[in-house]
Chain A
């Protein structure tokens, strides 16, 4: 059964249909929000708000797929949370003033690999970070990421390429040690 059909059933009050959608998308949406915000509590709040917007009728099947709507919704909620917290808007440019003074080897010496990855991904510019998360962790296609982020596929490809280049350089010692 398609997501859109389940959505229509849940709108008519069928609990089982809403449960199916919730169980399918809860973890992926939470993971994305957690990797973007770094906080379990915030990620759970954003996931809750995302589903509330769904069953309160914000989704229009004529405008696109349900999956795209959910990811775009939680992306927008994450950005709003960032703005409300006083953080910078998502950009595609590296902030040189915050460049890590430690080189890749220092990172590996001081951190476990998972921590090194967390720090490296968090250090990416916001627009590159969301693309790398959606592509590498959620296995979405470039076209779908383009629809979620509201840009051309070429822009997504460019951001992904730059993000990967930075991560390969930052995490090179982790890859060699494996």
Chain B
């Protein structure tokens, strides 16, 4: 480990650096902000697009199957059926064969 030469260092430190100007800060922040929207904007766009694709694929995959309409079989033929007027009920007894 190199020892520090405090006496030499004391003399060297008389040569002090000036302060940076405010212009430097403004330039750096401007460059930083110019690079930032492109990065974060693209990232948000891609995430939204990816989320939309996932939703569409999920909706297509989990859609319940469409069921065919149920047809009920019936043996009753009501062709020519006419209701009795006033609801009168007449019982017709058929001849036994």
Contact = CB atoms under 8 A, between A and B. Distances in A.
Given A55-B32, A157-B2, A44 B20 contact: yes
Interface residues of B, number: 28
A114 interface: yes
B32 A13 contact: no
B16 A167 contact: no
Interface residues of A, number: 37
Contact of B5 (A40, A114, A164): A164
- B contact face: mostly helix, strand, loop, or mixed: helix
Interface stretch (A45-53, A58-66, A90-98): A45-53
A77 interface: no
Interface string B33-65: 001100110000000000000000000000000
A48 B27 contact: yes
Contacts of B15: 35, 114-115, 117-118, 121
A26 B27 CA distance: 12
B12 A167 contact: yes
